[in-house]
């Protein structure tokens, strides 16, 4: 097996339920301090017919797994972010080959730090994903030039009382993705950094409406 095909992240993979028509895979990306188990139930609620691929971030911050290093809260180590984004994108490609997933139907579902690496992957390796649900994201970086995201669908869910992510940061990300050509739906919940049940329903409805296979 070549290096390119090694599955280099600790991860969970849950195949789509037998008999289900969905050909989507949800790439579940946890927040700081999370792991590969955290978002499995959320993924199943968002799309019960999808396969689930859930890696664990390799960076440890005081023992807490993350997907890339930060220098302070909201201040990212950009060279590390770029390197980790490429590494995660390579893993997704390798996992798609290994598990026989349709590479054109991989949807990132990220929360907080996981949403930030998902956005970074869209910006730096857009061929790996085709849609994303970003819960509590920030602008990870601004690439030059911007990628062509004209085939992309994105749902952004922010909280109007989030102490970590100001809403203008979310607006900046939505503008960046729109300027890259993506179709962006934004939802501002009456919430803090934690997710609400309503937002999970919104994500499930969004997937069903935007991405359903007929
Ligand atoms: C990050 O570091 O990605 C963001 O500050 C979100 C977080 O993980 O707290």
Residues of the chain with pLDDT > 70, as a percent, come to 95
Q: How far apart are CA 118 and CA 115, in angstroms?
A: 5
> Are 157 and 192 in contact, with CB atoms under 8 Å apart?
no
From the CA of 32, give the closest atom in ligand 1. Answer: 8
Q: Tens digit of pLDDT for each residue in 143-185?
A: 999 999 998 999 999 999 999 999 999 999 999 999 999 999 9
User: What distances in angstroms separate CA 60 from CA 34, 42, 64, 134, one per listed residue?
Assistant: 11, 23, 5, 22
User: Which fold, 11-210?
Assistant: Rossmann fold (3.40.50)
pLDDT at 20: 67
Active site residue 193: yes
Tell me, using a 6 A CB cutoff, whether residue 120 lines ligand 1: no
pLDDT at 190: 96
The Cα 78–Cα 124 span in angstroms is 12
Q: What is the mean pLDDT of residues 192-198?
A: 97
- In this prediction, residue 21 carries a pLDDT of 61
Centre of ligand 1 to C-alpha 198, Å, is 22
| Choice among 112, 120, 130, 180 that is catalytic | 112
Q: Does the beta carbon of 31 lie inside 6 Å of ligand 1?
A: yes
Atom of ligand 1 nearest to the CA of 67: 3
Q: What is the mean pLDDT of residues 42-70?
A: 97
Determine the average pLDDT of the residues in 99-119: 96
* Ligand 1 centroid – CA 73 distance (Å): 6
Look up 112 and say whether it is catalytic. yes
Atom of ligand 1 nearest to the CA of 140: 3
Ligand 1 center to 159 CA (angstroms): 14
Q: C-alpha angle with apex 92: 183 to 181, nearest 5 degrees?
A: 15
């Amino acid at each position: 097996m070549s290096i390119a095909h090694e599955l280099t992240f600790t991860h969970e993979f849950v195949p789509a339920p037998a008999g289900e028509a969905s050909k989507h895979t949800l790439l579940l990306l946890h927040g700081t301090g999370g792991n590969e188990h955290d978002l499995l139930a959320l993924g199943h609620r968002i799309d019960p017919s999808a396969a689930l691929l859930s890696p664990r971030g390799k960076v440890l911050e005081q023992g807490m797994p993350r997907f890339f290093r930060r220098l302070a809260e909201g201040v990212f180590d950009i060279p590390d972010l770029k390197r980790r984004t490429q590494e995660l994108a390579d893993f997704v490609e390798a996992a798609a080959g290994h598990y026989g997933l349709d590479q054109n139907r991989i949807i990132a579902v990220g929360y907080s730090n996981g949403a930030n690496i998902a956005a970074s992957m869209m910006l730096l390796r857009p061929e790996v994903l085709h849609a994303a649900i970003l819960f509590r994201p920030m602008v990870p970086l601004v690439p030059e030039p911007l990628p062509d995201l004209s085939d992309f669908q994105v749902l952004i869910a922010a909280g109007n009382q989030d102490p970590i992510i100001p809403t203008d940061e979310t607006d900046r990300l939505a503008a960046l993705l729109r300027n890259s050509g993506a179709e962006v739906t934004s939802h501002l919940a009456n919430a803090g950094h934690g997710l609400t049940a309503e937002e999970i329903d919104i994500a499930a409805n969004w997937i069903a409406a935007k991405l359903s296979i007929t």
